[in-house]
C-alpha cells in the first residue's frame, strides 16, 4: 500500500532513501533547510553536493517547509546527523501537535549524543511526545548511499521493540535490491551503528599508515569485541553484534572508500590535520564525535575499550597515531574472550 512519507534531512542518505521510497511507489516529500538544494532537487532532480551525477526520480518532491512535508504523513523518516537530531525532533514535535498527527517514526541516524551519551531513539522519544507518535523504528546496517543509489544489493535491519512496527518499516523499504530484516533489539542496533564508525576511522588510519590486511582484520575483530562489550553492558543482545547492524555495518564501513569515517581515518594516517579533514569532507563524520562520547561512557561504565581509547587520545589529545598503535600492541597479554 502506498504511504505518505516525510523524509527529514536531504544529505547523502536521506535523499537516496527518499528516492528509493518514491520508486517503491510511496508519496514522499523530502525536507531540507537549504532553499537552493530544494530548488535544484525539484527543478533538475539533482543534489550534487551529496550525490554527484545521480539523477533523482522526477516524482520526488522537496520542500524547506517542514509542516508542508509532514502534513498528512503517516510515516516520518528522520535522517539527520546526531548533532542536529534534537533540533529537528523538537521542531517536528511542535508541528505534529499543531496538525494533531501521530505518525510512525523511523530514524537512520548513527551516533551517540555528546555529554548525555544517549542513543538516537532515546533522544527522539524525549523530544517527540508519545501523543504525537507511534513507535520509533531504527533503520541500520551496511548501507552506503552510493551503493543504494545504483541499486546494488543491500540488506539492513529495522529494529523496534514493537515487532509489528518493525515489520511495517520492513515493508516500506524492501524491494528487489534492498532487503530489510526485523529485529527487536533497539539497544544493540543503535550501539552497533554508532560504534562501528570509531573502528572505521581506526581502520582507515592504519591503512593510511601503510599497514596491510592482517592489521585491518585484527582491528575489525577486536573492535567488534569492544563494541559488543559496551552494548551488552547497556542491555543489548550479544547476537545483534553478529548481525547486519553489528559486524555487517562494521565490515562495510571499515573497508570501503565510500565511508566518510574510513576516508577520514586514512587521511589522518597520512598525516593530515583533523580540522582540515573535517572541513574538506563537507559531510558528517559521525565517528569523530562518537569516539568522544563512547570513550567517556566506557570510562563511566568501566568497560574496556582500548581501540576507542587510543583513538580518543589521537583525535582529542593530539597523540601521534604510531605511538597510539605501539601502546595498543604493548598492553598486557590477555585472553580473547575477556
Ligand X SMILES: NC(=O)c1ccc[n+]([C@@H]2O[C@H](COP(=O)([O-])OP(=O)(O)OC[C@H]3O[C@@H](n4cnc5c(N)ncnc54)[C@H](O)[C@@H]3O)[C@@H](O)[C@H]2O)c1
Triad 18, 287, 319: Cα angle to 5°: 160
What, of ligand X, ligand G3P, none, does residue 190 touch, CB below 5 to 8 Å by kind?
A: none
- Is residue 110 involved in binding ligand G3P (CB under 6 A)? yes
- Residue given cell 534534537 in the structure block: 86
**Can residue 207 be called a binding residue for ligand G3P (CB under 6 A)?**
no
Per DSSP, the residues of 87-124 read HHHHHHHHHHHHHT---EEEE------TTT---HHHHH
Label residue 235 exposed, middle or buried (CB < 10 Å: 0-12, 13-18, 19+): exposed
Q: For the chain, give the number of residues.
A: 338
Total Cβ atoms within 10 A of residue 58:
9
Q: What is the DSSP letter of 56?
A: P
Q: Is 261 annotated as a binding residue?
A: yes
CB of 196 to ligand G3P, least distance (A): 7
* 12 annotated to bind ligand: yes
Site for ligand G3P in 281-300 (CB under 6 A): 286
Toward ligand X, which CB reaches closer, 19 or 109?
109
Is 196 an active-site residue?
yes
Candidate residues 86, 107, 144, 292; the one interacting with ligand G3P per rule CB under 6 A: 144
Q: How far is the CB of 13 from ligand G3P (least distance, A)?
A: 7
DSSP class of residue 245? I
Contact status: 142 vs ligand G3P (CB under 6 A): yes
- What mask, x for binding ligand X by CB under 6 A, covers residues 51 to 90? ----------------------------xxxx-x--xx--
Q: Which stretch binds ligand G3P (CB under 6 A): 27-35, 97-105, 206-214, 247-255?
A: 247-255
Task: Say if CB 124 and CB 146 are below 8 A apart.
Answer: no
Check whether 217 is labelled as a binding-site residue: no
Q: Which of 332, 165, 335, 148 is nearest to 252 (CA)?
A: 148
Which does residue 259 bind out of ligand X, ligand G3P, none, counting CB within 5 to 8 angstroms by kind?
ligand G3P
Catalytic residue of the set 61, 196, 292, 322: 196
Q: Which is nearer to ligand G3P, 128 or 264 (CB)?
A: 264
User: Residue 284: CB partners within 8 Å, gap ≥ 6?
Assistant: 11, 81, 83, 260
CA 169/CA 190 separation, integer angstroms: 16
88 binds, among ligand G3P, ligand X, none (CB under 5 to 8 A by kind): ligand X
- For ligand G3P, the binding residue among 109, 207, 253, 298 (CB under 6 A) is 253
Among left, alpha and beta (phi > 0; psi -120 to 50; other), residue 69 is alpha
85 binds ligand G3P (CB under 6 A): no
- The answer to whether residue 259 forms part of the interface with ligand G3P (CB under 6 A) is yes
* Residue 40 burial (C-beta neighbours within 10 Å; 0-12, 13-18, 19+): middle
Question: Is residue 293 annotated as involved in ligand binding?
Answer: no
Angle (deg, nearest 10), helices 120-127 and 82-99: 30
> Among 252, 294, 310, 315, which residue interacts with ligand G3P (rule: CB under 6 A)?
252
**Cα–Cα dist 165/160, whole Å:** 7
Q: Of all residues in this chain, which one has the CB nearest to ligand X in the complex?
A: 11
Active site residues: 196
- Residue ranges of the annotated binding site for sn-glycerol 3-phosphate are 110, 141, 143, 196, 249, 259-261
- Residue ranges of the annotated binding site are 12-13, 33, 50, 110, 141, 143, 145, 196, 249, 259-261, 284, 286
Amino acid at each position: 500500500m502506498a504511504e505518505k512519507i516525510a523524509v527529514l534531512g536531504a544529505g547523502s542518505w536521506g535523499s537516496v532513501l527518499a528516492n528509493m521510497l518514491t520508486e517503491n511507489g510511496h508519496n514522499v516529500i523530502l525536507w531540507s533547510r537549504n532553499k537552493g538544494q530544494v530548488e535544484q532537487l525539484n527543478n533538475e532532480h539533482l543534489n550534487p553536493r551529496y550525490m554527484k551525477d545521480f539523477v533523482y526520480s522526477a516524482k520526488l518532491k522537496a520542500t524547506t517547509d517542514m509542516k508542508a512535508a509532514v502534513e498528512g504523513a503517516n510515516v516520518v523518516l528522520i535522517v539527520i546527523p546526531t548533532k542536529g537530531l534534537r533540533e529537528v525532533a523538537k521542531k517536528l514535535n511542535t508541528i505534529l501537535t499543531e496538525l494533531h498527527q501521530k505518525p510512525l517514526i523511523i530514524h537512520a541516524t548513527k551516533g551517540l549524543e555528546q555529554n548525555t551519551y544517549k542513543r538516537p531513539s532515546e533522544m527522539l522519544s524525549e523530544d517527540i511526545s508519545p501523543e504525537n507518535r507511534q513507535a520509533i523504528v531504527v533503520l541500520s546496517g551496511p548501507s552506503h548511499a552510493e551503493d543504494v543509489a545504483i541499486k546494488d544489493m543491500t540488506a539492513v535491519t529495522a529494529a523496534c521493540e514493537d515487532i509489528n512496527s518493525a515489520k511495517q518499516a520492513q515493508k516500506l523499504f524492501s524491494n528487489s535490491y534492498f532487503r530489510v530484516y526485523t529485529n527487536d533489539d533497539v539497544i544493540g542496533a543503535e550501539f552497533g551503528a554508532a560504534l562501528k564508525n570509531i573502528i572505521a576511522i581506526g581502520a582507515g588510519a592504519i591503512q593510511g599508515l601503510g599497514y596491510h590486511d592482517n592489521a585491518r582484520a585484527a582491528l575489525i575483530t577486536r573492535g567488534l569485541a569492544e563494541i559488543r562489550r559496551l552494548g551488552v553492558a547497556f542491555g543489548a543482545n550479544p547476537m545483534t553484534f553478529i548481525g547486519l547492524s553489528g559486524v555487517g555495518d562494521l565490515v562495510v564501513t571499515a573497508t570501503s572508500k565510500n565511508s566518510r569515517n574510513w576516508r577520514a581515518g586514512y587521511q589522518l594516517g597520512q598525516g593530515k590535520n583533523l580540522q582540515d579533514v573535517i572541513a574538506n569532507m563537507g559531510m558528517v563524520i559521525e565517528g569523530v564525535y562518537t569516539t568522544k562520547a563512547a570513550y567517556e561512557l566506557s570510562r563511566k561504565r568501566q568497560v574496556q575499550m582500548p581501540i576507542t581509547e587510543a583513538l580518543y587520545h589521537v583525535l582529542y589529545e593530539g597523540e601521534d597515531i604510531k605511538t597510539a598503535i605501539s601502546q595498543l600492541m604493548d598492553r598486557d597479554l590477555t585472553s580473547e574472550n575477556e
